[in-house]
Structure 1
Amino acid sequence: MGKKNSDKEKHILITAMKLFSSKSYNRTSMQEVADICGISKGSLYLYFKSKEDLLLNILQYYFQYMDDQIMRIEEDASLSTAEKFIKEFEIKLSHYIEHQEFYRLQGQELSGLADKNIYRYLHQQNIAEVKWVEHSLIKIYGNEMVPYASDGAFLLMGMTKQYMELIILKQFPLQVKKIVRFLMAQIDFMIKGLLDSKIEPLMNKNLWSLYLEEAEEEKVHPFELIKQMKNQLKTQSIPDALKAEAIQSLTIMEHELMNMQPRTVILKGMLHNLEQLQSLEETRLKLADSLLLHQMQQIPE
């Protein structure tokens, strides 16, 4: 943790986590955390500069605790790839059951936080979890699994979620080891069926790249980016002809986006027209990404 009194800091983190999860993060003050920990508010601020700093450290502490256990399994040369995955999967599920307060805390509405590192950190952890399953399945089943790895990850994680809810919410007496082995048997049937049938994966490269997008910038609608670019053009010293052409291209895009099914060829053509304006490059790239996401959301089932 990098601070002097690690035992005291650990006590604060665990206590604050339980308080945040039971009362909610937004309704808990630093004074309350200090009172429950038996220290002054001033002493608490010696460890953590703000409530958001405390929250980020709680998240980092618990994820690191689990990662340390996983690393010990990874370093065990006596285990096969499949055996490592099963043991690591068991560790993750056991951690989920043993530290329910921690996962309840993540499930809270943590909106309006000034420290964007918190959102970024949680996003990275969620992505890392899916990637871990995806890469593990590829290592177990080989390169022919690559096209189906993301679908396999979602299938396994979806089934796992249902059984975890039985244990957590319904108090079903299910053992983690039995759950993991049962799930691995089921996912084995599914994956072999997928590989034999050669059915087209649901998660293609475009959808997967959108899901894994790790940029933490808030998604902006294409209309907003078009408006930004028009405002940028007003303040830039560029030839009138180029400026008029750019504004016209942006206006055409606006009109096209109002259609129920915007035509990709039109949108791509207008984006291409904007490439000659280097001063708009950054916003243009954001617009291209935003348009891709917008179009994917318009695809009918």
Structure 2
Amino acid sequence: MSLLRQRIMDSAMRFFTEKGYYATSIQDIANDCAIAKGSLYKIFPSKDDLLIEVLGERLLLLREQTERIINDTQYSPKDRFVKETLLQLEFIAEYKLNFRSEHDLPTLENGGKLNAFAAGLKTRLTKYYADCIVRAYGPEAEPYKWDFVVILVGTMKQYMTFGYFVNSHFDLDKISNYIADRMDEVAAGVLAKKPEPLFDSSAIEHFFGISEDEPESSPEKLRIDLVQHLETAIHELPVPMTRKAELLDAVGIIKEQFALEDFKPVLVRALLEFLSNQHELASYVGQLERVLACEKRKA
């Protein structure tokens, strides 16, 4: 990722957090980065694209941190649950996404790429919370996991909402331990009495579009999906056919590299840099760069 691109994203993250999405203008970010607004638009075609990039990068980091906790054998199931809860609280506190004004961030009614991103984010997070519950309380919690998710998410949101509106700075470590203790009590009571669940998988699948059998997206699948999006976007570009052919050739070489067990990162990065010069593709290129960076950190 170029230094300018990263500087723009860092500036946007700060402004979105401090002022809110709608109160932040592209001019604010351009001034902060000491560049012309037109130069920023060459990298990010819209403010929506910029928001998607900022949140996408943060979510990849969140996923990487979560995987480290899950794979650390020194932690007990309770320790993991506390630490995963803490990560979620830190994310909420950082972006205030769950307790700002309902109109402060774009909503699903806005449509377009932001609609798809927001819907996908809600689906992934809901499924993640369910997996987190089963990891903490074992397979016996499986029939009740969606009820537990409602309680967990509602509890996290309300504690953070209260702290935000009364301007109180809570100790997030303390809150995560407190919430985990309360969830222990809820789980113990439910698993002892075994009531009929209020939410079953079919209802959740229908509402969120979640498939119980759908595996978690792997970096390889993310790469494949993003390359397909790139190809589709190139075909729709209002550019001469010779330019489309050049861009599609670059994507074709990237696909060939990704098919190799040990592809050449330097070549892929050079091709992505070439593709990013077509500003309509910058968002997809940025997402691919983040996926590759995440894979590199894991290795």
Q: Name the TM tier (shorter chain).
A: 0.5 to 0.7
Q: Normalising to structure 2: TM-score of the pair?
A: 0.61
Indicate the residue corresponding to 1:54 in structure 2: 50
Q: In the TM superposition, what whole-angstrom CA distance separates every residue of 1:47-78 from its partner, at most 9, and x where no partner exists? A: 21233222221221222232232233233222
1:78 to 63, 67, 74: 74
- Secondary structure, aligned partner of 1:208: helix
- Mapping of residues 110-121 of structure 1, within 5 Å: 110=106, 113=110, 116-121=112-117
C-alpha change, 1:113 and 1:99, in structure 2 (3 Å) is closer
1:173, distance to aligned residue in structure 2 (A): 4.4
1:195 is the counterpart of 2:191: yes
Q: Normalising to structure 1: TM-score of the pair?
A: 0.61
1:95 is the counterpart of 2:118: no
For 1:117, the aligned partner's letter is: K
More displaced 10-residue stretch of structure 1: 183-192 or 204-213: 204-213
In the alignment, is the contact (CA less than 8 A) between 1:24 and 1:105 conserved in 2?
A: no
Matches of 1:144 and 1:46, distance apart in 2: 52
Matches of 1:125 and 1:44, distance apart in 2: 26
1:201, distance to aligned residue in structure 2 (A): 0.8
Identity %: 27
Indicate the residue corresponding to 1:210 in structure 2: 206
- Secondary structure, aligned partner of 1:57: helix
Q: In the TM superposition, what whole-angstrom CA distance separates every residue of 1:2-26 from its partner, at most 9, and x where no partner exists? A: x3x2x33222123224434555545
RMSD: 2.9
In the alignment, is the contact (CA less than 8 A) between 1:70 and 1:88 conserved in 2?
A: yes
The structure that has the greater radius of gyration is 1
Relative contact order, higher structure (CA 8 A, sep 6+): 2
C-alpha change, 1:101 and 1:211, in structure 2 (3 Å) is closer
For 1:77, the aligned partner's letter is: T
More displaced 10-residue stretch of structure 1: 143-152 or 116-125: 116-125
Indicate the residue corresponding to 1:149 in structure 2: 145
Note the residue ranges of structure 1 that are not aligned, 5 or more in a row: 216-301
Note the residue ranges of structure 2 that are not aligned, 5 or more in a row: 212-299
For 1:12, the aligned partner's letter is: I
Matches of 1:104 and 1:67, distance apart in 2: 24
Matches of 1:184 and 1:103, distance apart in 2: 21
1:170 to 166, 169, 173: 166
Matches of 1:36 and 1:140, distance apart in 2: 44
Matches of 1:19 and 1:90, distance apart in 2: 24
Q: In the TM superposition, what whole-angstrom CA distance separates every residue of 1:56-104 from its partner, at most 9, and x where no partner exists? A: 2122122223223223323322223332221121122123224438975
1:184, distance to aligned residue in structure 2 (A): 1.5
